[in-house]
Structure 1
Amino acid sequence: MILGDGLFHFLVVFFRSSYDMYNKRQRKDATTPFADAAALVGPCLSFDDRRRSNVFLKDQIPTTVAIAGYVLFAVISVITVPFIFPQLKFYHIIVAYIIAPVLAFCNSYGCGLTDWSLASSYGKLAIFIFGAWIGMNNGGVLAGLASCGVMMSIVSTASDLMQDLKTGYLTLSSPRSMFVSQVIGTAMGCVIAPSVFWIFYSAFDLGSETSGYPAPYAKVYRGIAILGVEGLSALPKNCLNFCAVFFFVSFAINGLKEVAKYKNWKIYNYIPSAMGMAIPFYLGSYFTIDMCVGSLILYLWERADKRHATVFAPAVASGLICGDGIWSLPASLLSLAKVQPPICMKFLSRADNDKVDAFLSG
């Protein structure tokens, strides 16, 4: 559902942008599809939104620069990655860079919609694709993990940049300055991250059960890579069938939503988001509860004072997200102090619940 929702919106944006560029070239009254910023912004937005859009659009990053930069780094990766991981050939890297922009768009869309980057899910997809392609005898396990790293680097960077551009849009910052800051930070990370890893690798026994850094995710991803090289036969029964069915269900939901929007049907606001439905399956029920409570607060706020809700909702949402993240620090301190919560809640199956009731009654 995550992949289907992202691909659907990618195709929608692609065809709409292509159609807009075609019309403007036919009229020959604009050089880019976004040249007429005022027409794009529209009169239906508030003054603040029109101002933000005008500032954001007048200082764009040239498309040629973006394409040239992506091609340059693709060439660098094609040359260097096979030297680091001989199991990956140059054509594997080329294929990864061809499909990465589509997955990067899907992740950026999902991150903007739910504030949750799903780069790891696209990385696991790369493990299965390249692991099955290369095979066990040719080092498919290591190649799958390496391709996962390449894919996650591209996809996660795209969502991070989109979040930065969103912040720049809200704060009237220049998109170019945000992009340059991202480039500088990424360049610093290329030096700092390996250095920190080397310090940990030299000082501690990484990956060992007895050390303070057992790296449990390494075992998880290695297990996924082993499944990937064994092919579809290693997956649980009907796993691929479920995946394909809900992929097309996601397309159907989005198609119905687009038709309802075009026809101005009243059911448009009640058609669920496929991405919103899929995230709870991926992350767990706690995320669903947060989203439900937040949506309820926003709904009641809009009913009471729509103007203030529209203006201050992003600030309130940012504060709630920040508070939820910061709470992990006191939660860790309470856990270290072995403080037990005053109440505990569990969800059991019917059979287990009957056993508990029988035990308590006995």
Structure 2
Amino acid sequence: MAVESTLELENNVGRTKRDENLLDVEGKMVEDDDGTKGKENTVIQTCVVATSGIAFSGGFGSYLFGMSDIIAAQSSDSNSPTRNMNIKNPSLSWIIGFLFIVSFIGLCSVVPLRKIMIIDFKLIYPSGTATAHLINSFHTPQGAKLAKQQVSALGKFFSFSFLWSFFQWFFTSEDDCGFENFPTFGIKAYQNKFFFDFSTMYVGVGMICPYLINVSLLLGAILSWGIMWPLIEKQEGHWYKAGLGPSNFHGIQGYRVFTAIAVILGDGLYNFVKVLGTTGTGLYNQLKNKESRTVLPVATDGATPDGVGATSFDDQRRTEVFMKDRIPTWLAVSGYVAIAAVATITLPHIFDPLEWYYVVVIYIFAPALAFCNAYGCGLTDWSLASTYGKLAIFVIGAWAGKSQGGILAGLAACGVMMNIVSTASDLMSDFKTGYLTLASPRSMFVSQVIGTAMGCVIAPCVFWIFYTAFPDLGKHGSEYPAPYAVVYRNLAILGVEGFGSLPKHCLSLCHALFAAAILINVARDTVPKKWARFIPIPMAMAIPFYIGTSFAIDMCVGSLILFIWEKSNKAKADAFGPAVASGLICGEGIWSVPKSVLALFKVSPPICMKFLSKDTNVKVDGFLSTLIR
């Protein structure tokens, strides 16, 4: 998908077939201005991406928040006698310290492999390549003109999204109030989470995501909230005790969460094995044919049709710049050992159940997994950082045991592993961008370090603003329910407790959906491509199982807008669709900052707009009339 976006981008900025040789057209420009503009943009975007990447690998909505008392109260261990030893409530000091300890070691783990990944194996890293083409396009007259128009479109829809979110705020003084609870398809559908909540953010996300993902989300929503949960709720009193409430994991909530986990694990396991297989096969073929200088089939730059390398002037120039500023291997290795030693000493003091030898084992295997993730990401543009994190949850959690705080130990191990493999793949993708834009690898590495350090402070501070501004943060049914935090904690519980506490037939449903996820993936990879594009993605289908359907409807609305736009003017939709979507996303996202400030100062919206059925409205009117009398 990233490769397709790159090709579209090249068409939009006026490139032709003769421009395929990047430096033939853009290299001259780079030499004319000494490459300052492109290099500056590359270094800056590396820093920004590294900073924002901590928001994902930091686990504020997953493993880290999953340690808290708020999430534990919603999990299946809510009444466990060992619950207290498996809780670590958020605190700004220990979160920042933890991120500084674990976020840099991934950078050291793959630096010695940058030449192998980028030059020898010629891995594509589609996102990194797309970013490089975008940066290079800005420094052509046509690219600058298009960029100006795109920025203008982004600004207009940013303003619209921000003002619309501000307008909606006035009607949300109480729970279940406002446009975000509009019963678009009727009250009954609303009660089963089927409604459009007027979120410009998710409409924008839907415009960016492929159609198949959005359709998969909608199918998952229909399967779960439209069919499965209504049928299971009819078995209340037979399959599970009556009167447990909608958020009890021994009742309907157990089916919602654990079936979602089963689909996620099935999809993740399949793709984990698939990427590892692709990685191993590609590496074996590369090493086997090293003498003939065969490059991987996913990378054809500089190779003749028979596969024999024919290094062009462009590649020679790129390689010269890429290898000029060397990052000493001894520095990376010594940095890895030093950070691992510090982590081994300090992490057990932050998380009591996480023994020092657990940390040592993680750091012994982490470089191999970081390499696999970076290599697989170069082949497929798919980072499996969360899957490696889940693997750490099960291994360390089972090793520690529930009575010894295995849940907390597993979640902490997940954080260590995710940070290592995520930053490793991000760095290698940025190296690919720098390779194509002739930026200094040493400057990019320094920029990555600076960005990571900034992220270790900025991301926890932003999270802390939300955590203090919204007392119900993470609670089911709140504005920010943090569903993945519940999922990660329950994964840790499964790792140490087993499946005995699940409601009746829940495990059978999990087995069936786990197998279905694998079979769907097998079908996607075996049928002809013209049919595979109509087969849904299990991972996307699983997301609405727990968190509802409104966001899936929003994203499908975004897809519908883009589809109509492409039918009426495809060139304009391709050029300005991402800018419009980004404006919609950023506007609502930025509104959350002043909204948080208002919440901090105890400023509440003045109006509550609710929607009632006809019968309920009659009862309310009757009750109010008695009060007036």
TM (norm. structure 1) is 0.61
Q: CA deviation at 1:269?
A: 2.4
Match among 509, 514, 524 for residue 247 of structure 1: 514
Matched, 1:338 2:605: yes
* Counterpart pick for 1:138 among 398, 404, 425: 404
**Matched residue of 1:338: which SS?**
coil
Q: Matched residues in 2 for 1:241 and 1:292: separation?
A: 31
The 5-angstrom pairing of residues 76-225 of structure 1 reads 76-82=342-348, 84-94=350-360, 96=362, 98=365, 101=370, 130-151=396-417, 153-154=419-420, 157=423, 161=426, 165=430, 174=439, 176=441, 180-189=446-455
Q: What does residue 259 of structure 1 align with?
A: 526
Distance 1:270 1:95, change over 3 A: farther
Kindly indicate whether residue 251 of structure 2 is the aligned counterpart of residue 3 of structure 1. Answer: no
Could you tell me which runs of 5 or more consecutive residues in structure 2 were left unpaired when the two chains were aligned.
1-262, 306-313, 476-484, 623-629
| CA drift at 1:288 | 0.8
Q: Residues 150 and 217 from structure 1, CA distance in 2 versus in 1: closer, same or farther, beyond 3 angstroms?
A: farther
1:326 to 590, 599, 606: 590
| Superimposed CA distance per residue, residues 314-339 of structure 1 (whole angstroms, 9 cap, x where no aligned partner) | 33332232223123246557873423
Matches of 1:131 and 1:11, distance apart in 2: 22
**Is 1:299 the counterpart of 2:573 in the alignment?**
no
- The yes-or-no answer on 1:288 pairing with 2:552 is yes
- Greater gyration radius: 2
The DSSP-based 3-state class of the residue aligned with 1:252 is: helix
Which residues of structure 1 form unaligned runs of 5+? 43-50, 201-206, 347-352
TM-fit CA distance, 1:359 = 4.9
Partner of 2:196: none
Deviation (angstroms), 1:278:
2.1
Q: Which residue of 2 aligns with 1:45?
A: none
Deviations 1:202-239 (A, max 9, x none): xxxxx9xxx97869659x87985678654433344444
Q: Aligned equivalents of 1:65 and 1:5: distance in 2?
A: 39
For residue 38 of structure 1, what is the aligned residue in structure 2?
Answer: 301
Partner SS, residue 270 of structure 1: coil
Question: Aligned equivalents of 2:279 and 2:372: distance in 1?
Answer: 18
> Which residue type is aligned with residue 12 of structure 1?
K
State which of 523, 528, 539 in structure 2 corresponds to 1:275: 539
Q: Tell me the equivalent position of 1:48.
A: none
What is the distance in 2 between the residues matched to 1:360 and 1:103? 61
SS of 1:289 mapped into structure 2:
helix
Q: Which amino acid aligns with 1:273?
A: I
Q: Distance in 2 between matches of 1:290 and 1:81?
A: 41
Moved more, 12-21 or 272-281: 12-21
Aligned to 2:217: none
Partner residue, 1:29: 292
CA deviation after TM superposition for structure 1 residue 77, in Å: 3.4
Please identify which structure carries the higher helix content.
1
Q: For residues 571 and 501 of structure 2, what CA distance do their matches in structure 1 show?
A: 54
CA separation in 1, counterparts of 2:385 and 2:507? 20
The answer as to whether partners of 1:103 and 1:122 remain within 8 angstroms in 2 is no
Cα offset, 1:292, TM superposition: 0.7
Contact kept, 8 Å, 1:30 with 1:36, in 2: the verdict is no
Task: Please tell me the root mean square deviation across aligned C-alpha atoms, in Å.
Answer: 5.5
- Which residue of the partner structure matches residue 274 of structure 2? 12
Please name the residue that 1:204 is paired with: none
What fraction of aligned residue pairs are identical, expressed as a percent? Answer: 41
C-alpha deviations, 1:143-179, integer Å up to 9, x for none?
34533443454466568x389849969x958594555
**Secondary structure at the counterpart of residue 448 of structure 2:** helix
Provide the C-alpha distance between the structure 2 equivalents of 1:240 and 1:246, rounded to a whole number of angstroms. Answer: 10
Q: Counterparts of 2:419 and 2:548 in 1: how far apart (Å)?
A: 24
1:317 pairs with 2:581: yes
Distance 2:566 2:394 in 1: 45
Aligned residues, how many?
320
Distance change >3 Å, CA 248–CA 78, structure 1 → 2: farther
Give the letter for the 2:401 counterpart: G
Q: In 2, are the aligned partners of 1:104 and 1:154 still within 8 Å (CA)?
A: no
Give the residue type in structure 2 aligned to 1:303: K
| Structure with greater contact order relative to length (CA < 8 Å, sep ≥ 6) | 2
SS at match of 1:313: helix
Residue identity in the other structure for 1:232: F
Instruction: Note closer, same or farther for the CA distance 1:15–1:213 as it changes in structure 2 (3 Å cut).
Output: closer
